[in-house]
């Protein structure tokens, strides 16, 4: 388990009003981040973007005040996808970017993600530096050195053009009817423009945020509305983003879900066929075994990283590869952008459809997913399941029963008080029984 005090696998996240997701903490966090990112001898600036949660207004103001107290200028982007903040942090040559979002969580949660000046997630050392400043008394800089705040009015247009630049100029979606589900989240005002400007006929759902409906029965975690709309409108496919726009899942014309593992396979196999994959593919411990078997069968190297896009990125950089991702639809495409980007990833799938001349339903058929079942066991507080003898004993029994024909994974969520129990194998009835038995042991041990 991480020894960091506040940071999880993807920033700081929790329920609004409960520590650390409070205005007071955000004020201190803004000041601490300003101190950690500041470079002497230059005017420092930090970008702040947010998703569509009502609490974003409150935390935006608190962070702005803290940064100003540290002597750092603030550029406010308003509601923008998480990857847009990563991109704009680079283009504005800012010291850092801050995103106020709890991603796919309900509106009553919120959180903070940071990007470095290079538009990448922070490494452990910089997160530890911020935490060290958080433990110090807040001292306001000289009044003449306080940071200024300004709004960036053209941020959406800049990001739309960036997304379009990640596909060739000759690429078009003319003749395609696409349904977009924006999860009432941060992509609501930019994703439709990207796809329409690239020639698609676009129908949109989940694009009326009211501050409380983010991810509510829509988006990449709730695909029923998208499936129904694709069938109703007889569209060619549907695309669903999560609340902050760094994940994407799809639905084919028959209403069948195409998850992140399948999308990763589609992008990889098309690039490999064109000779532009540039190395292998990184998945995670949760990636379906079918992906690994299909890619290796095509002569493509595959490696597993710990769960979390930061760990996928670490392995990509270490191997000098460009493509990796997770079943949740969080993909990293390093020759397009510096972090997971739902719109950019969707465009790469659309490019594969365009170049192959095959529909989405056909492209996914090259990979046979193995039955996989996961149960999230809610616990009072997070713990390492492998630290409990009773759980380890049950885990070893499950592994012995499945043999080489399956996999078992136990891990604590980095963002929620959950223990994730995943079992994968050849026979669905067997994995359902094994995962339920193992989840029961975890639940009993956590009491």
Structural contact between residues 405 and 377, judged by C-beta atoms closer than 8 angstroms: no
Q: Residue 390 annotated as binding?
A: no
What residue spans of 285-427 are helical by DSSP H? 289-297, 309-319, 342-356, 360-363, 389-402
Q: How many CB atoms lie within 10 A of CB 113?
A: 25
CA angle 286, 287, 291 (to 5 degrees): 160
Maximum distance among all Cα pairs of the chain, rounded to whole angstroms: 69
Q: How many CA within 13 A on the CB side of residue 28? A: 15
* Assigned token pair, 148: 């200024």
Q: Residue 103 annotated as binding?
A: yes
Q: Residue 3 annotated as binding?
A: no
140: left (phi over 0), alpha (psi -120 to 50) or beta: beta
The reply to whether 103 belongs to the active site is: yes
* Assigned token pair, 374: 């996961």
Q: How many CA within 13 A on the CB side of residue 204? A: 19
Cβ partners under 8 Å of residue 202, min gap 6: 177, 178, 179, 180, 192, 195, 196
Identified catalytic residue from 45, 103, 345, 446: 103
409-413 contacts at long range (C-beta below 8 A, 24 or more positions apart): 409/285, 409/286, 410/385, 410/386, 410/438, 410/442, 411/285, 411/307, 411/385, 412/1, 412/382, 412/383, 412/384, 412/385, 413/376, 413/382
Binding-site sequence positions for Mg(2+):
103, 242, 244, 246
Q: Which residues are known to be catalytic?
A: 103
Binding residue numbers: 103, 242, 244, 246
């Amino acid at each position: 388990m991480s020894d960091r005090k506040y940071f999880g696998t993807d920033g700081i996240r929790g329920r609004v009003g409960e520590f650390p997701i409070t205005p007071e903490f955000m004020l201190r966090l803004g000041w601490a981040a300003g101190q950690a990112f500041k470079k002497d001898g230059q005017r420092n600036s930090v970008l702040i973007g947010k998703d569509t949660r009502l609490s974003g207004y409150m935390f935006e103001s608190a962070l702005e005040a803290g940064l100003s107290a540290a002597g750092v200028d603030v550029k406010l982007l308003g509601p923008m996808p998480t990857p847009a903040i990563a991109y704009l942090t680079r283009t504005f040559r800012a010291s850092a970017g801050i995103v106020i979002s709890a991603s796919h969580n309900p509106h009553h949660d919120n959180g903070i993600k940071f990007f470095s000046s290079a538009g990448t997630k922070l490494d452990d050392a910089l997160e530890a530096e911020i935490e060290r400043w958080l433990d110090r008394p807040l001292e306001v800089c000289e009044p003449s050195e306080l940071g200024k705040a300004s709004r960036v009015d053209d941020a959406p247009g800049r990001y739309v053009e960036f997304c379009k630049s990640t596909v060739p100029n000759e690429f078009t979606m003319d003749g395609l009817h696409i349904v977009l589900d924006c999860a009432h989240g941060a992509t609501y005002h930019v994703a439709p423009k990207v796809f329409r400007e690239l020639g698609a006929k676009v129908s949109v759902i989940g694009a009326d945020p009211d501050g409380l409906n983010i991810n509510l029965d829509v988006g990449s975690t709730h695909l029923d509305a998208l499936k129904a709309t694709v069938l109703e409108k007889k569209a060619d496919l549907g695309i669903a983003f999560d609340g902050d726009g760094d994940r994407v899942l799809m639905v084919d014309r028959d209403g069948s879900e195409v998850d992140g593992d399948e999308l990763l396979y589609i992008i990889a196999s098309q690039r490999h066929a064109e000779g532009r994959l540039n190395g292998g593919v990184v998945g995670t411990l949760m990636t379906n075994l079918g992906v690994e078997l299909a890619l290796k069968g095509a002569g493509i190297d595959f490696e597993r990283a710990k769960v979390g896009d930061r760990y996928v990125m670490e392995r990509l950089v270490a191997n000098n590869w460009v493509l990796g991702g997770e079943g949740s639809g969080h993909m990293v495409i390093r020759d397009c952008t510096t972090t997971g980007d739902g719109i950019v990833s969707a465009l790469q799938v659309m490019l594969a459809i365009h170049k192959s001349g095959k529909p989405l339903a056909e492209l996914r058929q090259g990979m046979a997913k193995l039955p996989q079942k996961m149960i999230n066991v809610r616990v009072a507080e997070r713990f390492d399941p492998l630290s409990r003898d009773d759980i380890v004993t049950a885990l070893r029994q499950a592994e012995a029963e499945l043999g080489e024909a399956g996999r078992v994974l136990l891990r604590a969520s980095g963002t929620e008080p959950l223990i994730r129990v995943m079992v994968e194998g050849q026979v669905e009835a067997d994995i359902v029984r094994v995962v339920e038995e193992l989840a029961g042991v975890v639940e009993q041990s956590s009491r």
